[in-house]
Amino acid sequence: MQTNTPNLERHMLRMGSIAFLAGMAIFLVSTILHPGREDPTNHPLVFAEYAEDELWIASHIGQFAGGMLAFAGGFVSLFWLLHTRSESGIASVLAWMGLAATIAAGSTLAVLQAIDGIALKMAVDSWYAVPAADGGEKAIAFRVTEGIRWIEIAANSLFRILQGSVGVIFGVTILASGILRRWIGALGVFAGVATIILGVRVAYVGFATVGSIEDTVSTWTYLAWVLILGIFMWRKTTAKTMTTTTR
């Protein structure tokens, strides 16, 4: 099928492409600024590391901004493309499900960054400021900080599961619609499944998953998928026509 690409469609795709690419760039830079020397399961050491980090809040705001660019700009534009261009009723329904999952994942990301980036920082700073000689008060402050850490782990687990669901649903939608290359859909499904597995693992073992095989596979395949989506959506804005392809 070939149809002329209206200006609105071109602008939507361009917005989505920029949102995907810029969002991932901001997220990566912010993540590089995130401290990671200590074992995240060794709370006394890692809490001290967080307390000493002056860029903690800024790096988490950056992660939030980058993630929300991808969700609110990139995936919403992808939904629009798949919903309006697909001739498959199944693909259209799946696109709506993907949009719902995107909204849920973006909302959970906001909660996660509020807990991790702001609440946890305030807690570790309070604990760190208590003199070691005041053992009772320091122990209480430590337990409060650990409680916030458990809440962070819970939010992180659910975010990963929802993030993975976005990948699976939109990946299947791409496969069903034929709007983009089918291998892009397959990569989305793979990245999504890997991320869901990581989210379930986080629920059981917490941040012992950091640096694990499931963490590595999930992170890099999902990142690659989002970057590929951004590139292919931009390529569609430079063409005079949009051609449905099933390759």
202 has a pLDDT exceeding 90: yes
pLDDT digits (tens, 9 = 90+) for 156-169: 999 999 999 999 99
Confidence of residue 83 (pLDDT cuts 50, 70, 90): confident
**In this structure, what token pair is assigned to residue 237?**
């804005």
Higher-pLDDT residue of 245 and 178 is 178
**In this structure, what token pair is assigned to residue 164?**
């993975």
Cα separations (Å) of 176 from 3, 120, 154, 191? 19, 42, 33, 17
pLDDT digits (tens, 9 = 90+) for 134-152: 879 999 999 999 999 999 9
Expressed in percent and rounded to 5, the helix, strand and coil fractions of the chain are: 85, 0, 15
91, HSE (Cβ side, Cα atoms, 13 Å): 21
Higher-pLDDT residue of 11 and 43 is 43
Higher-pLDDT residue of 205 and 92 is 205
Q: Using CA atoms, how far apart are residues 35 and 104, in angstroms rounded to an integer?
A: 28
Q: What is the C-alpha end-to-end distance of the chain, expressed in Å? A: 14
Give the per-residue pLDDT at 6. 63
pLDDT averaged over the chain?
A: 90
pTM over 0.85: yes
Mean pLDDT of 27-46: 93
Give the per-residue pLDDT at 40. 94
Give the count of domains, the chain. 1
Q: Using CA atoms, how far apart are residues 141 and 31, in angstroms rounded to an integer?
A: 27
* Greatest pairwise CA separation for the chain in angstroms: 75
Mean pLDDT of 108-122: 97
Distance of CA 233 to the CA centre of its chain: 19
Residue 176 near residue 91, CB atoms below 8 Å:
yes
Q: Using CA atoms, how far apart are residues 8 and 146, in angstroms rounded to an integer?
A: 49
Task: Give the domain extent around 193.
Answer: 2-243
Mean pLDDT of 5-11: 72
